Amino acid sequence: MSIAKIVVMLGAPGAGKGTQARQLEEKFHIPQISTGDILRGIAKENTPLGEKVREVQAAGKLVSDDILAEIVNQRTSKEDCNIGFILDGYPRTLNQAKQLETIAKKQNKDVLVISVDVLDDLLLKRLTGRRSCPSCGEIYNVYYKAPKNENTCDLCNKVLVHRSDDKPEAIEKRLQEYHKNTTPLISFYKEKGCLLSIDGTQPPDRVFEMLCQVFNK
């Protein structure tokens, strides 16, 4: 990327955006910034901001947009983000998107938004079929990447787990919430002319190839 960019990865749960973002980080040597990871790190710090985040989390509330914007700005102002960075999990709302515009202007960077699009029916199949190993963390899928022995990890022979948030009812709720929050974002970025949609139903290698073509431009 010749011009410093903030790359926003959008995609519903199960679309594969997190995996693709990590691969892009490795190939192009620009950091993938996860607001969830940052918040968990800050909550462990003995600082005024860390205390504030701990209080919010202890109350079972979401961190405010203003605090999130401050955190994102602090992290992305570091030297490793000078040529650009990838945002995963931020922005999630229209207000956060507008705050990101302020950050981008302050850092003299352009915003590029990539939406990895997958139909809900396929997302349901991907997520309900997901099984994980509680020991080594290996991920399987009963439809696409089944273990050699039913419900047993190929690597460490532990019984695989079907997470509660991968049950159909929970997934449908997560998808509804995602569409509710993301529809205004899509409209906002379309109007700005910085939204690029990628067909996420294709094999992961092909999706990554298309993303690389975007980055190389």
Per-residue pLDDT tens over the stretch 155-167: 999 999 988 878 8
- Helices 94-107 and 168-192 pack at an angle, to 10 degrees, of 50
Q: Are strands 139-141 and 130-132 parallel, antiparallel or unpaired?
A: antiparallel
**Is 75 one of the catalytic residues?**
no
What per-residue confidence (pLDDT) applies to 7?
95
200: its two tokens: 């996420």
What per-residue confidence (pLDDT) applies to 3?
63
pTM, full prediction: 0.81
What per-residue confidence (pLDDT) applies to 127?
87
Task: Spell out, as residue ranges, where the chain has pLDDT lower than 50.
Answer: 1-2
What per-residue confidence (pLDDT) applies to 107?
94
What per-residue confidence (pLDDT) applies to 13?
87
Name the catalytic one among 22, 52, 54, 174: 174
Name the catalytic one among 5, 17, 109, 126: 17
**Is 92 one of the catalytic residues?**
yes
**Is 22 one of the catalytic residues?**
no
Amino acid at 59: A
How many CB atoms lie under 10 A from the CB of residue 131?
A: 21
Name the catalytic one among 92, 109, 126, 131: 92
Candidates 50, 75, 45; CA nearest to 63 is: 50
Name the catalytic one among 163, 180, 190, 206: 163
Question: Rounded to whole angstroms, what are the CA distances from 179 to 52, 64, 176?
Answer: 30, 21, 5
Name the catalytic one among 5, 109, 130, 131: 130
Residue 193: which region, alpha, beta or left (left: phi > 0; alpha: psi -120 to 50)?
left
